[in-house]
Amino acid sequence: MAGNQTFTMIKPTAFKKNYAGAILKMITEAGFQVKAMKLTRLTAEQAGTFYAVHKGKPFYQALVEFMSSGPIVAVILEKENAVEAFRNFIGATNPENAAEGTIRKLYGTSLQQNAVHGSDSDENAVIEADFFFSKMERF
Ligand code: RTP
Ligand code: MG
């Protein structure tokens, strides 16, 4: 995977509220192409591994509990400069600070429950995509 792919998750609250369809519509209409996708649920241990970079931070335990609280949609996306383009597209981490019309502004309900994840580097995009998808699940 070169610098043209990123990884996203529709987080548990957004999925539970039936926002997955609307969110995926926004993503694909913005020119991000779906290369892999699945509905799954993380165990607390898996969520802890996925967010290991935040281990020790005050919000880590709550984040792990939240991310393992229900199903998520995991997706690999492709677009030029995907990581940066997608992070700009979804809006700031805290939905309150996210620009009008962004996914996090429209569908996020709190700093923690901010609708979607977006990889923060090409390196992490590869690690995160490999965490969820085998070769035969990618197109
Ligand atoms: P993400 O990894 O989910 O794409 O979000 P991000 O890069 O914009 O933010 P990051 O700093 O990586 O934080 C990961 C997720 O942890 C939750 N969070 N809670 N102070 C808090 O309560 C707090 N800070 C962050 C959010 O769900 C954030 O997306
Ligand atoms: Mg992050």
Look up the ipTM and state it: 0.95
Q: Please, are residues 101 and 93 in contact by the beta-carbon 8 Å criterion?
A: no
Whether residue 139 lies inside any domain: the answer is no
Q: Please, are residues 124 and 137 in contact by the beta-carbon 8 Å criterion?
A: no
Which run of H or of E encompasses 117?
strand 116-118
pLDDT of residue 3: 82
Query: In angstroms, how far is the first alpha carbon of the chain from the final one?
Result: 12
Tell which one of 54, 84, 105, 114 to mutate to probe ligand 1, the residue whose CB is within 8 A of the most ligand atoms: 114
Whether residue 56 lies inside any domain: the answer is yes
Instruction: For ligand 1, say whether the CB of 12 is within 6 Å of any of its atoms.
Output: no
pTM: 0.96
CATH number reported for the structural domain that contains residue 13 in this entry = 3.30.70.141
CA separation for the pair 40, 119 (Å, rounded): 18
Digitized pLDDT (tens) for each residue of the chain, 139 residues in all: 458 999 999 999 999 999 999 999 999 999 999 999 999 999 999 999 999 999 999 999 999 999 999 999 999 999 999 999 999 999 999 999 999 999 999 999 999 999 999 999 999 999 999 999 999 999 9
Note down the domain range covering 119. 5-133
Dihedral of alpha carbons 17, 120, 45, 1, sign: positive
How many domains does the structure of the chain reveal?
1
Q: Please, are residues 103 and 23 in contact by the beta-carbon 8 Å criterion?
A: yes
